[in-house]
Structure formats: C-alpha cells, structure tokens
Structure 1
Amino acid sequence: MQISAKADYAVRSLVELAADSARPLTCESIASSQDIPFRFLKSVFRDLRTAGLVRSQRGCEGGYWIARDAASISVAEVMTAVDGELFTVRGERPDALHHPGAAQGVSELWCDVEAVAGALLQRTTIAQLAARGGTAHDASAAVPA
C-alpha cells in the first residue's frame, strides 16, 4: 500500500490545524512548519475546502481553520477527500477484481487488506493524531525525552 504525498500532506496539515485551533493558520506557516512544498499545499487545501474539512478566512488575519471538530474527522475521510478511493489495485477497487485460476485467492487478499487498513484509517481521527504529537510549534515536543 502506498500513501500519496497529497494524502500525507493533507493529514499533516489538518493535524497542525487541530493542534493550534485558536487562530487561523496560513498555508505558508503550515508549509514551513511541516516542511511541505507551498505550491503543492495550496492544491491540497483546495481539495480539503471542497470536502468541507477546512474553511478559509481572507485578509491580513486570514488563513485556514479546521471546519469541524477534529474528533469527527477520520484519516480515511481526509485521504478520500484528496485521493478518491482509499485503496485500489491497478486503479480498480479490490472487490471488483477477479483473478483466474490459482490466483483467485489474491483478490480475496486485497479485499482483506482493504478492510483492515480501511478500518484502522476510519477509526483514527485527526484529534487523536494531534494529541499524539503535542501542540503545534512546541519545540519541546520534537525533542526526545
């Protein structure tokens, strides 16, 4: 299973927003703190806004806010918002695959992988990830104990 850069950046950005929800954060500040290419992050935020996961505020005090309670946003929802299907094999959903002969069990394996990975990503929330990492811009959180 390969996680796209877009999905990784989207999840990391939402965790950053959840960790510092007192004010809107700019794409520039998130890109800098998460070491994400700014231009790429702008397209990620377009997808997140379209999916209703972030909202934006214009102006000098503007930026992005998380649009819902971070505890109600699953990692699976974020990944689907930016990438479409959560798990595919050669562009097809695993339950649509039918391998011939001795390889019939491979289709079942991919379905099982999708079920297990999907369940983990569905039950893991942005709030849980934010709690694991401490607060945004907290230098002590990055230092091992």
Structure 2
Amino acid sequence: MRISARADYAVRAALQLAASEDDEPVKAEAIADAQDIPHKFLEGILNDMRRGGLVQSRRGGNGGYRLARPADTISIADVIRVVDGPLVSVRGVRPPDLAYTGPAASLLPLWIALRANVRQILEGVSLADLAAAQLPAEVAALTDAPGAWTNP
C-alpha cells in the first residue's frame, strides 16, 4: 500500500491544527513552514479538507484554518478519504466491484481482507490520538512485531 504525498501532507496539516493550543485559526504558511510542506500544494489540500468538512477557514488578518470538529472525532481514514478517495483500490476500482476468474478468483477475498485491516487501523486512530502521541494499544502492538521497522 502506498500513502500519497497528498495524504501524508493532509494528515500532517490536520495534526498541526489539532495541536493548536488556543483554537485560533492557523495560517496556511505557518502549517507549511512547521511541517515542511510546499505552500501552494498545501493550499489545495486545505481546500479539499474544507470542502470535505474537516477544516474551517476564515479570511483576513486574523484568518487561517482550524479543525471543523474535535480532533478525537476525526480519524486518519477521514483525512485520507477526503484528499485521496477510497483507502484501498485496485487499479482505481474498489475491491467489491472487482471480478476475477480461474486461479485469480482467490485474489478478491485477499483485497477485501487488506481493505478491512487498513480500515481497522486508520479508522481506529484519531487526530487526537496522534497529537497526544498515544496510539491505541492494538495499533501500537503492531509496531512491536518482529520486522515491523525493517524492509524485506
């Protein structure tokens, strides 16, 4: 599975907003600087997040962006879906819409299982969890598995 730059930047921007202590709007430039994200690219991402109902924006000298709802109600899956669409697709098609024949027929349950596991992790972690550096125990346990931090 690949996480696009767009999804990575969106989650990082959302975390920057979640960590904002005073709930005042944060300027896109400040987010871009804090997270080393290209400003123009970030503006497009923030607009998608606004249209998706994850952030609110305010214009003017005291303007900027803030989360549209509490960080503990926004999952990492919510953020990724708003900027990239479905969490798991095969050739741009959602797994339930695929059809295979012959020996490849067993691929469909594999893709469905993959999607279920990705959903379980990304829907089970909120912005608040990450902003507090507190992964849910079942997710944190996955990082303890032998080989979790190495590439085969």
Q: Same fold (TM over 0.5)?
A: yes
Kindly indicate whether residue 36 of structure 2 is the aligned counterpart of residue 18 of structure 1.
no
Q: Tell me what 1:53 maps to.
A: 54
Deviation at 1:130, TM superposition (A): 0.5
Q: Tell me what 2:101 maps to.
A: 100
Comparing 124-133 with 25-34, greater Cα deviation is found at 124-133
Letter of the structure 2 residue corresponding to residue 118 of structure 1: R
Q: How many aligned residue pairs are there?
A: 133
Letter of the structure 1 residue corresponding to residue 19 of structure 2: A
Deviation at 1:60, TM superposition (A): 1.2
Q: Tell me what 1:76 maps to.
A: 77
Higher helix proportion (structure 1 or 2): 1
Change (3 A) 1:129 1:75: same
Moved over 3 A (4+): none
TM-score by length of 1: 0.88
SS state of the match for residue 90, structure 2? coil
Deviation at 1:124, TM superposition (A): 0.7
1:84-136: CA deviations, max 9, x gaps? 11210001111122221111111111110000001111111011011118xxx
What is the Cα-based RMSD across aligned positions, in Å?
1.2
SS state of the match for residue 99, structure 2? coil
Q: How does 1:31-46 map to 2 (within 5 A)?
A: 31-46=32-47
Letter of the structure 2 residue corresponding to residue 92 of structure 1: V
Greater RCO, CA 8 A, separation 6+ = 1
- Contact 2:28–2:64 (8 Å) recurs in 1: yes
Deviation at 1:24, TM superposition (A): 1.4
TM-score by length of 2: 0.84
Deviation at 1:21, TM superposition (A): 3.9
CA–CA distance in structure 2, aligned partners of residues 124 and 76 of structure 1: 8
Q: Name the % identity.
A: 46
- Contact 2:87–2:118 (8 Å) recurs in 1: no
- Contact 1:21–1:66 (8 Å) recurs in 2: no
Give structure 1 stretches of 5+ with no counterpart: 134-145
